[in-house]
Amino acid sequence: MKTKIIVVFSFIVILPLLIYVIQPLLGVHNLILKYATSLGLSLFSIIGFTLYFLKKKNERWYLLFLITVCSLVIELITSPLRGGFVISGKGFPLCAVITFIIYFVFIIIMLKKYTSKLKPQWILIACLLGSSILQLPTRIFFSDTLLSLPDWLFHLFGIFMGYFFYISGKYVKPSIVVISIICCSFLYFKGYGLFLHKLYFGTFTGIVHNKVEIPKFHFTDKDGNAMTSQSFTGKYVILDFWNTSCGVCFQEFPKFEDQYVKYKSNNDLSLYAVNIKLPRDNEGLSFEIISERGYSFPNLQGDQDAEKIFGIQAYPTVIVLNTEGKIVFRGNKDKAFLFVERELRKK
């Protein structure tokens, strides 16, 4: 017994500490990586020995713990998909759909294999617990996790749909599969985009139905001339808000340039990029950036007050003003230009 205790203590405490100490000798100096490696080894050791002792003492608790751990592992191995390295711009919806499928199949396998030893409800709870061990505390203690919320909810949805598929009759099973395919397709192709649009811009479609006149404001052009709210009345105006820390803004500038070239001779529409100056930006930096990259669209300089006036919560944000100078659209470029095209066709 003493030997077992020493072995357990070595794996859980001494070995991770040893690994932490020798990592610099192996060329690892990143503090976060060192902590992660050591803690990961400790966690792996705790899980392994817990499974070992539970298997000898209580088979039911062993199976519940095993299912929970496997469910947790699914969360861990699919989480890198969120980075978007498989399909650019589709990280979160791709992770949601793939993890949905994995959980759907996983819980059915667990139910078929262990229903004789565990109640189906307990297997369901174990799967849900494994998916929530890391996700739930993260969302409780960190406020900026709404971006990935639909992803995790779809993981739970996959567990529930797999469970209902198993307990349902043979005539209901096809309906569950069809519903699952429809939900996954909607989330991947449309739903996640609508959610992000609502999260970042306050509307699902971008259209602002309560057209409230905005307070007085002024921007300056590269020559120092002021442009006020009165400067934009009488025509539709597209304002592309950006800042120098926004990588996506720079990626979308060519798209904005194409639209400017398309509409620059249209007397019913004007397009402007509006830079919101950051405290670290040098005076005139935004004009230099636009000029150096060879863009022809006009750039205006704004300040932090513009964020409040126009309700900017994320960059880039495109604002469309109607002929009366009221905000009629707030969202991304693609939706903004589609909206403007529809409005111009009405004239």
In the chain, what percentage of residues exceed pLDDT 70? Answer: 81
Q: What is the mean pLDDT of residues 141-147?
A: 78
Cα separation, 204 vs 331, in Å, equals 9
- pLDDT for residue 347 is more than 70: no
Q: Which of 139-148, 245-254, 288-297 has the lowest mean pLDDT?
A: 139-148
Q: How confident is the model at residue 140 (pLDDT cuts 50, 70, 90)?
A: confident
Q: Which of 168-177, 213-222, 252-261 has the lowest mean pLDDT?
A: 213-222
Q: How confident is the model at residue 37 (pLDDT cuts 50, 70, 90)?
A: low
Q: How confident is the model at residue 261 (pLDDT cuts 50, 70, 90)?
A: very high
Which one is predicted more confidently, 211 or 135?
135
Burial 258-269 (b: 16+ CB within 10 A, else e): ebbeebeeeeeb
pLDDT in tens, 183-195: 999 999 999 989 9
- pLDDT for residue 217 is more than 90: no
**pLDDT of res. 1:** 45
- pLDDT for residue 92 is more than 50: yes
Q: Does domain 218-346 have CATH number 3.40.30.10?
A: yes
Mean pLDDT of the chain: 83
- pLDDT for residue 50 is more than 90: no
Q: Which of 32-36, 82-86, 211-215, 294-298 has the lowest mean pLDDT?
A: 32-36
Which one is predicted more confidently, 8 or 115?
115
Which one is predicted more confidently, 292 or 56?
292
- pLDDT for residue 254 is more than 90: yes
**pTM, entire model:** 0.74
Both tokens of 212, joined, read 């409230």
Which one is predicted more confidently, 232 or 158?
158
Q: What is the mean pLDDT of residues 149-161?
A: 95
